[in-house]
Structure 1
Amino acid sequence: MANEVIEKAKDNMKKSIAVFQKELGGIRAGVANASLLDGIKVNYYGVPTPLTQMSSVSIPEARVLMVTPYDKSTLDDIEHAILASDLGITPANDGTVIRIVIPQLTGERRQEIAKQVGKLAEKGKIAVRNVRRDAMDTLKRQEKDGDITEDEQRSLEKQVQKVTDDATKEIDKLADQKSQEITQG
């Protein structure tokens, strides 16, 4: 039962890291990346629909995204959704596809994005620490209920802390890689 607590904590920490990675994928680093458009919802017949379900996104050049809608009548809706997003990019609608040129990042903008990565990393670490807290509380409760001994509790808490440290290091590593990618351009 006590090992279940550690396994559950590991699993939840992996999920926290996966969420962090997904959020990192949505950060613009000066190169075209189809995941930039993942969070965009298009108003399709009154229903907010993910852009990726309504069109295919390709990368014909290093800094160009091309959105090809499955239904050509949705071009204007897709264009409006991209404009309304917080990406800060302007789509070009040529009547059949939408081209999005990813502008070169300025030094100042790179610093802002690097700070954003830091904030996301901190959010990820907080999620990991919350998982640790829940696991520690569960272990304390089990010890209090007599399910495990005090020595077992201490040993398991050390294991939980090690898993937490590993997850935190992984988040730091991913954040550093993304920051390098952004600042190197």
Structure 2
Amino acid sequence: MATVNEIISGIESKMEKSVAALRVDLASLRAGRATPSLLEKVMVDYYGSPTPVTQVASVTVPEPRMIVIQPWEKNILKDIEKAIMKSDLGLNPNSDGICIRLNLPQLTEERRKDLVKVVHKKAEEYRVVVRNLRRDANDAIKKTEKAKEITEDEAKKGTEKVQKLTDKVMKEIDAAAANKEKEVMEV
């Protein structure tokens, strides 16, 4: 069986990965400002395997509301266009045969409110993940206590450490969600 510190360090790394994953998810949400991270989840069929657009083309942001995608191979231009059309970004690609331009329209108030709801939903999904990790850590601590590998005091201190860690990670999740909400609501 693992010691309390091993259990906590394992859970801590999983919780930090959850926060990092949330930040990546939130970055891919369109907030009215053009950013290459919007295209991270858009997959192109590249020689039979799904590949992110950012790995088959250079993605630049020449203006605050425009993304320019220049594929490294001209023959995948149409595939990139199709992938963008299929994505949930709601953008229409404009191609000139060499590159694709994506113009991001101004977000309506209704769309902004919908995006804020999506931000809250994603944040709650990650809170659930963190709570499940906390439960798993506490269960592991209880098992080691029942196996007489640690004392009751060590188990109590361990669960307190897990709770402090959980609280810290929850604050990070809340901060990331609040930052994205602020970004979405800026006009």
Which residue number in structure 1 is paired with residue 73 of structure 2? 71
Tell me the CA shift for residue 74 of structure 1: 1.0
- Whether 1:148 and 2:146 are equivalent positions in the alignment is no
Secondary structure in 1 matching 2:175: helix
Pick the aligned partner of 1:139 from 122, 138, 141: 141
Segments of structure 1 that go 5 or more residues without pairing to the other structure are: none
Q: 1:184: Cα distance to partner?
A: 1.4
Q: Distance in 1 between matches of 2:121 and 2:161?
A: 27
- Aligned mates of 2:9, 2:173 — CA distance in 1: 19
Letter in 1 for 2:56: M
1:9-158 matches, within 5 Å, as 9-158=11-160
Letter of the 1:72 counterpart: K
For residues 167 and 20 of structure 1, the distance between their equivalents in structure 2, rounded to whole angstroms, comes to 11
- Partner Cα separation in structure 2 for residue 40 and residue 172 of structure 1: 26
TM score, norm. by length of structure 1: 0.98
Quote the Cα distance in structure 2 between the aligned partners of 1:118 and 1:86.
18
Give how far 1:29 is off.
0.2
| Runs of 4+ residues deviating >4 angstroms | none
The amino acid of 2:125's aligned partner reads K
Question: How far did 1:49 drift?
Answer: 2.0
- Once residues 52 and 98 of structure 1 are traced to their aligned partners in structure 2, the CA distance between those partners, rounded to angstroms, is 13
SS in 1 for 2:58: strand
In 2, Cα distance between the equivalents of 1:51 and 1:169?
33
Q: Distance in 2 between matches of 1:167 and 1:173?
A: 10
For 2:113, what is the secondary structure of its paired residue?
helix
Distance in 2, Cα, partners of 1:166 & 1:44: 41
Task: Report what 1:184 is aligned to.
Answer: 186
Q: Tell me, which stretches of 5 or more residues in structure 2 are unaligned? A: none
Letter aligned with residue 68 of structure 1: Q
Question: Scaled by the length of structure 2, what TM-score is found?
Answer: 0.97
Q: How many residues align?
A: 185
Letter in 1 for 2:164: K
Shift of 1:45: 3.1
Per the TM alignment, residue 126 of structure 1 is displaced from its structure 2 partner at its CA by 0.7
Could you list the per-position Cα deviations for residues 25-60 of structure 1 after superposition, in whole angstroms to 9, with x for gaps in the alignment? 000000101011001111123322221121010001
